[in-house]
Amino acid sequence: MWRTNPVRWARKNVGVHVILAPAPDGRVVLRPLDARGRRTGPDTTVARPELAREAQRIEAADRPRWVWRRAADWYPGFLAAGVRLERCHDLTLCGTALEGSAFAATTGYTSAFAARTEVADPAGTLPQLPPAEGQGFLFEDAPDHGPGADDLERELTAQLAAIAGSSQPGRLRLLCAADSAGALVAAEMQAAGIPWDAATHEALLAEQLGPRPRGLERPARLEEKANELRDLLGAPKLNPDSPQELMRALHRAGIEAHTTRAWELREFTHPAIQPLLEYKKLARLLAANGWAWLDAWVRDGRFRPEYVVAGVVTGRWASRGGGALQIPKQVRAAARALPGHKLVVADASQLEPRVLAALARDDAMAAAAEDSDLYARIAAAGFGGDRAKAKVALLGAIYGATTGESGRLLPQLAKLYPRAVGYVEQAARDGERGLTVTTHLGRSSPPPSERWHHLQRSTTAEEQRRADAVARDRGRFTRNFVVQGTAAEWAECWMAELRLRLRRLAARGFRGELVYFLHDEVMVHAEESVAEACADAIRDAAAAARRLLFGQAPVEFPVSIAVVDSYDQAK
């Protein structure tokens, strides 16, 4: 049954908004409005030291949707004061999504606060982070600039009108609610931090790199590998950290590589290749998660990265500093639950292919998604049971790898699942033509740059070849945009629903904190006695996220869950 209208989750129990804005005299203005953004009473102005207590009183009495320019400007201060809020409307996040959405294109809405970035590449496809802004001034002196309550009210009114006048108000309302809930989750995860055992991390580094070096010296094992490379390449003064020196040494040794990327180096059989790959792996560990990282990012037994909600144009999250979205296997054992606690680690199995089945309303692929291993089911249906081929074909269709092995397998996939393959093929063709594509809830791809359009108007043969190439690049981007972006929406709804369930457990005296998120994976740090209840909450939240986005669509979104002592045990 393909009833895919999303539930109006964003309207549940929401009767009031409260605008939160700095006042010129250094105090804070609180302005009450109704669900449509109309004022329901006079402003209240409070001194900053009194703000947390006043907000807590309003939260308990009215459960409002707090309206602010950016949650990251205010919510960390509330959390530091021990005040947690249930819901908000982040005008910057919502404005960015609404201004670019094809669903709201006829409303004439232009955001006053949208995070705009210039996309410089010809295909117009590079993901970009919004610019960093000041944070955490809640209990410090008020800024002497920035939008006041009147500006925020005008922007809220414009956003609510854009949603109401759009072609899909239910979906856009849910998108804004999901992004805003994500902003609260991001601040709470940063405040909580991932439990991190510095002693374990130190031991892991010593085991893999050797003792902690002094100053700018290389660790002992890294220096050993460097000396081995120098001998094998006949380059006694080689600095393997210099790409230019390394390339010259490789060429002198007869290794005609064009880059030092691992996939290219593996094509050669020279004795220096394996030590070089090992050196690069150890060097990455040192640079990304070595002693400097440990000193900079782990405080009081917690790793507290800054998450950037919708930091990528598809709506996926990013992180600013600390590499939170790339914790390598070599150091995951340091992410360790405190005594009497467990880490409940869950990931959504094969999320993007399942999202594609729901988007395309492909009955055959939806049937394959009933199995916990969708790739195995697809392999049995048409690839002779070869799971690897089925995976290559499906991921090739989603990500645009339509040449080579995946291109050879694509016709068989299209025969099995014509609606799913047709869906991403249409998104690719639209992108190649310079059109925008849109996720399920209404986040649209950025338009191509002026340089892209200039190339498409070119006349010379060389320019036309370049134009065709960048058009194909954009087609690959838009092909994946609709799937990856909708998967990001599902993940935000998953986290928002999980957050609500963890709050209910906390109200009963059980402690479980959402401490980490990575695209399709969450981690909860919970008291051991409540770990299984948290696991149930994660499963229930996943089911609720499916209903929110896709209604009664017959596509399953299973999650695999591990209750462990350290992160490395979950994989």
What's the pLDDT tens digit per position in 552-562?
889 999 999 99
- 125 compared with 500, residue with greater pLDDT: 500
Q: Would you say residue 274 has pLDDT above 70?
A: yes
The answer for residues whose C-beta is within 8 angstroms of residue 384's C-beta and 6 or more apart is none
> What is the pLDDT, as a whole number, of residue 291?
96
> What is the pLDDT, as a whole number, of residue 552?
87
Q: Would you say residue 130 has pLDDT above 80?
A: no
Q: Which CATH number fits domain 363-485: 1.10.730, 1.20.1630, 1.10.3470, 1.10.150?
A: 1.10.150
In this structure, are residues 71 and 187 in contact, taking their beta carbons and an 8 Å threshold? yes
In this structure, are residues 134 and 143 in contact, taking their beta carbons and an 8 Å threshold? yes
Measure the CA–CA gap between 343 and 6, rounded to whole angstroms. 32
Q: Which candidate, 483, 479, 372, 360, places its Cα nearest to that of 416?
A: 360
pLDDT interval class at 129 (50, 70, 90): very low
Q: Which helix (H) or strand (E) holds 485?
A: helix 461-507
> What is the pLDDT, as a whole number, of residue 550?
95
- 494 compared with 459, residue with greater pLDDT: 494
- 376 compared with 2, residue with greater pLDDT: 376
> What is the pLDDT, as a whole number, of residue 2?
61
Residues pairing with 65 in the sheet = 17, 87
pLDDT interval class at 8 (50, 70, 90): low
- 321 compared with 340, residue with greater pLDDT: 340
In this structure, are residues 40 and 23 in contact, taking their beta carbons and an 8 Å threshold? no
Is this model's pTM higher than 0.85 or not? Answer: yes
CATH number of 198-296: 1.20.1060
> What is the pLDDT, as a whole number, of residue 1?
59
Measure the CA–CA gap between 129 and 119, rounded to whole angstroms. 11
pLDDT interval class at 463 (50, 70, 90): confident
Domain ranges for the chain, please list them.
9-195+301-349+489-570, 198-296, 363-485
Architecture in CATH for domain 9-195+301-349+489-570: 2-Layer Sandwich (3.30)
Measure the CA–CA gap between 307 and 188, rounded to whole angstroms. 10
Measure the CA–CA gap between 191 and 458, rounded to whole angstroms. 52
Q: Which candidate, 450, 456, 398, 392, places its Cα nearest to that of 427?
A: 398
Task: Quick: pLDDT tens for 67-110.
Answer: 999 999 999 999 999 999 999 999 999 999 999 999 999 999 99
Measure the CA–CA gap between 546 and 558, rounded to whole angstroms. 10
Q: Which residues of 35-67 are buried (b: 16+ CB within 10 A; e: fewer)?
A: eebeeeeeeeebebeebbeebbebbeeeebbbb
Amino acid at 463: E
pLDDT interval class at 403 (50, 70, 90): confident
> What is the pLDDT, as a whole number, of residue 15?
62
Q: Would you say residue 322 has pLDDT above 70?
A: yes
Of the listed ranges 44-53, 448-457, 542-551, the one predicted with least confidence: 448-457
The answer for residues whose C-beta is within 8 angstroms of residue 421's C-beta and 6 or more apart is 397, 410, 413, 414
* Over residues 55-68, mean pLDDT: 95
Q: Would you say residue 137 has pLDDT above 60?
A: no
Measure the CA–CA gap between 479 and 473, rounded to whole angstroms. 10
Tokens of 497: 């629903």
Tokens of 438: 């849109």
Q: Would you say residue 421 has pLDDT above 60?
A: yes
> What value, to the nearest 5°, has the Cα angle with vertex 80 and ends 79 and 84?
20
> What is the pLDDT, as a whole number, of residue 142?
41
> What is the pLDDT, as a whole number, of residue 3?
63
> What is the pLDDT, as a whole number, of residue 206?
97
Q: Would you say residue 294 has pLDDT above 60?
A: yes
> What is the pLDDT, as a whole number, of residue 458?
86
In this structure, are residues 545 and 512 in contact, taking their beta carbons and an 8 Å threshold? no
> What is the pLDDT, as a whole number, of residue 134?
41
Of the listed ranges 28-42, 136-150, 306-320, 397-411, the one predicted with least confidence: 136-150
* Summary mean pLDDT of the chain: 91
- 101 compared with 24, residue with greater pLDDT: 101
Q: Would you say residue 299 has pLDDT above 80?
A: yes
> What is the pLDDT, as a whole number, of residue 46?
96
Tokens of 296: 């900079």
pLDDT interval class at 401 (50, 70, 90): confident
pLDDT interval class at 506 (50, 70, 90): very high
